[in-house]
Structure 1
Amino acid sequence: MKIQLFIPCFVDQLYPETGMNMVKVLEKLGCDVSYNTAQTCCGQPAYNAGYKNEAKAVAQKFLQDFKDPSYIVSPSGSCTGFARNYYDKIFENSSDQQLCRQVSGNMFEFTEFLTEILKIENVGATLNGKATYHDACGALRECKIKEGPRKLLSNVNGLELIEMKESETCCGFGGTFAVKFEPISIGMAQSKVKNALDTGAKYIITTDVSCMMHMQGYIDSNNLPIQTMHIADVLASGW
């Protein structure tokens, strides 16, 4: 199966190993993976900040970069959800609307692609220890992803998955929210990490590196005995 990779900004700049591990898993499952090096951002940061015209210009480039009619897979529910739910509004009544619907319809978050398109729930990964799963807002609310990641994690050898309280509650990042409302954002991270620690977990696993970055910052600042991991890194472990 031919697929195109969309690598979000945070993955490209801060967590490139997560992108590489996603490729590792997809190729193991027989996918023909391509990466367009001209790609940039999906436009979400500008759109959420109110810069609609600038966001549209970035989104137009995204449409051209991914106009090939094949699946687009991304290690981010946030970016996937933005393209899927907001591009149609951005390009409403424009000459780009047909291409917009093709592109947004072809875009899938990584775990969603594994479970819903490839129908895979076990990739043969191994990671020893206890873990808990954080429902990232983009994946849960924009893409309706809930059970798929948990099914994949339940089949990781050596991993004990424990549900934490309020797993669906936001970690506090929210893009510019973390900058504009820093005390609230930190308080939300504190609550999320406490709930994870209460399970006895060694790992907090999620679908979005933005959540990872935010929670790990709080963890590191307070020297707490827990670690965040992207699910692609988990699924690429042990083989």
Structure 2
Amino acid sequence: MKVALFVPCYIDQFYPNVGIATLQLLEKLGCDVAFPLEQSCCGQPMANSGFASLSTGCDANFVKNFAGFDYIVAPSGSCVLHIKEHLHDAENPEKASEIRKNIYELTEFLTDILKVKSLNARFPFKVGMHNSCHGQRGLHLSSMTETMSPDFSKPEQLLNMVKDIQLSKPKRNDECCGFGGTFCVFEEAVSVKMGKDRIAEHEANEVDFITGGDTSCLMHLEGILKRQGSKTKIIHIAEILNSIL
């Protein structure tokens, strides 16, 4: 299958290793991966700030770069959800519609499309799992406690295939970290307090790393960890799943 790799702008600029790990992981699993070189922002920051009308250029560029692929995969639940719900192109409505159907968050793609049953990976550390809101409540990557639905987690399903990993959960497993896109800018104090609460629960479990599927959430938590002088590190789930034995 022909897969296009979509690397969100903040990953490209600040966490390129996440994009590299995603590419390597997909190739290990047999995908023919292409990276459209003219891809750029998906337009989510404008939409989050109430200026969705200003993202038409982003929409047109996204369609230009990603139309025609069997699947589009990205290591970011929030950007994937934005495309699924908001991508439109007046000049190419059918292409935009196909893209909305064919774009997947990484762990969603691995479990639902590739149906991965085993991974040749090892990560001998204690890891805390963070569920991002977009992934959990938007893409339904894991169950939500408030719905009383059957318990499931696609990211945890994959992490449990990694050898020697010790996976732990915070007490309030599906609570927001406080990042929330531009929320962390407009409501800085609330955002930081929420992030500190998340970190406190993970550190109570004495984890070495905090992982998740959204680098944006992890970036928010990493900033707080560094300011607190914590030894706990953040790592994207793609980097763990791609870790070599």
Question: Shorter-chain-normalised TM-score: which range?
Answer: over 0.9
Select 2:106's aligned residue among 97, 105, 110.
110
Residues 3-152 of structure 1 mapped to structure 2, 5 A cutoff: 3-87=3-87, 90=88, 94-146=90-142, 147-152=153-158
Report the residue type matching 1:171 in the other structure: C
What aligned pairs does 1:144-223 form with structure 2 within 5 A after superposition?
144-146=140-142, 147-223=153-229
1:78–1:208 Cα contact (<8 Å) kept: yes
Q: Distance in 2 between matches of 1:237 and 1:19?
A: 14
In structure 1, C-alpha distance between the alignment counterparts of 2:118 and 2:206, rounded to whole Å: 24
Q: Deviations over 1:57-93 (max 9, x none)?
A: 2112111111113100000001111111222xx55xx
| TM-score, normalised with respect to structure 1 | 0.94
Alpha-carbon RMSD: 1.2
- SS class of match (1:205): strand
Structure 1: any 5+ residue segments left out of the alignment? none
Deviation, 1:95, is 4.5
TM-score normalized with structure 2 length: 0.92
**Aligned residue identity for 2:39:** Q
Tell me the residue number matched to 1:236: 242
Point out where structure 2 has 5 or more consecutive residues left out of the alignment.
143-152
Q: How many residues are matched?
A: 235
Q: Residue 97 of structure 1: CA displacement?
A: 2.7
Q: Give the letter aligned to residue 39 of structure 1.
A: Q
Counterparts of 2:187 and 2:72, CA distance in 1: 33
Give SS of 1:33's match: strand
Higher mean displacement: 9-18 or 161-170: 161-170
Amino acid at match of 1:73: V
Shift of 1:54: 1.2
Contact 2:129 2:210 in 1 (8 A): yes
SS in 1 for 2:123: strand
- Give, in whole Å, the separation in 2 of the partners of 1:121 and 1:80: 24
CA–CA distance in structure 2, aligned partners of residues 122 and 164 of structure 1 = 26
